[in-house]
Structure 1
Amino acid sequence: MSGFGTKDLTSGDILSYVALGDSFTEGMSDPYPDSGSVPNGRYRGWADRVAEHLADHVDEVRYANLAVRGKVMHQIIDEQIPRAVELSPDLITLCAGGNDIIRPGTDPDTVAATFAGAIEELSRTGARIVIFTGFDTNWQPVMRHMRGKVATYNMHLRAIADRYGCDVVDVWSMRVLDDARAWNWDRLHLSPEGHRRLALRVCEVLGVRAGGEWNEPWPPAEPRDWRTARQEDLHWAREFLVPWIHRRLTGRSSGDNVSAKRPSLEPLRARRD
């Protein structure tokens, strides 16, 4: 087991950070706070927020985010891992495999073995590496049947983290994410508040001070009647589920023709909302 996970991220003047993955790390459904806009099609997300928190503790954060929506494991390995190795940062976050796991017929054991190969490659950089478990789907009726598959994958991820000395953000145990307000209307991507809370959780794992508590209880939710809940289910199925199934059947991805929002290590212009 390596000691990469013990690297102090606030001990130097300059910190370099590379985020890898899919829509979860790209920051989908978290627009920039300026009028709720998404400038140039770019989202903010928990990784940008973590980089902003890191900027409070060092003179300069150089940050790259190579994550692209819709990417599956082999695409992340082919398109993002070599670039991350080339950049040789101090910190790497990798969340991958979710788009593989939710596809019918995929084997979590096989996906995890591929993930382990990616971590072995990244570990050669000497960076501190952070990985993420899948979230618990038990609160979502439509995705509840995948709970066992996700749990199996998570057990593999913990073993991989032990082998290579990675930090683990246990998203599965974040019960605060069982609330629908933590998620966008598509029920697959975090809401801005969900991204904010996850960023605080990542900082906690890294030992980096950040304002706020990720597990602060939600205020009481407004009651919803049965009819409203069913209308929301129908809207979700029509606007998200059907197009998602169509893309799978036609071999298309939401990430087609989308490039990484921060392909190089660039100084971060910190911002707060």
Structure 2
Amino acid sequence: MPPIVETFADQQAGCPVLDPEFLQRALSLARDRALQVRAKISADWPRRSTKPDLSGVVRHPLSHDESAVWFCLHCDGKITGAQIAQNLWHCPGCGASPLDIFDTPFWSDDHGKSFQPVKSHVAVDVDRDEPEFQIVDNRPKLDLNEEKTILLIRSALLDDATNISEKLGALQAEISVDDETGVLIALEEDLWAMGKEPVQALAVAELLGLEVDFASSWSTIPFAWPGLGEMTSSTTEYTQMMLDGYAQYGGLTNKSPKES
């Protein structure tokens, strides 16, 4: 099979891999690496898996089944023992892995009689094979869906928070995104300081090209005495104050983690 060269640019554009000298050097390194990988696989697998006997029988490196004829679950190809051994148990037709190669076509209604022999892509001189160019673009694509946008806005709210109450408010905030109206952030009145502008959240929304509207919400706060969280920025210190407060003034309807 001729080597495949993937590039972002077409053959008329300026791209280093289109330079013949650069390309031949790159192909030489790739072939050397392929030989190293092949040698490593061959060393790890039983000899009977890479060397057919006089009848063409080889042993599957994973299942240890033996046969002179093999079948590909992926493309329904019929493969000789010599072919599959030479291609290190990857289908010579479609490239399927050894997990898709079986000695019997158990999935076929006619026991594989309709399966066609796989033609191996054998080159007379691999060093002179003209590479096949494919223009691809595998660069990561930014997909700012609603879930990811909300995640960024909430993270920015946490940046704005200066104490535990505000951190809890950022975590508890109701955030919704609409393509037409932008972002709506509903902050719990007992947790977020009245009149405090979330500067970082506004900055992130601006970067994303979104308008922001704010609203106040009144829901069940996670712990009593939200004012305790305004006294510290340490979750550990707040937790101790909260436990002490419940122990002194609270009921005993729920057990603490230490008591459960």
Tell which structure's C-alpha radius of gyration is larger.
Answer: 2
More strand, by proportion:
2
The TM-score, its normalising length taken from structure 2, stands at 0.22
The TM-score, its normalising length taken from structure 1, stands at 0.21
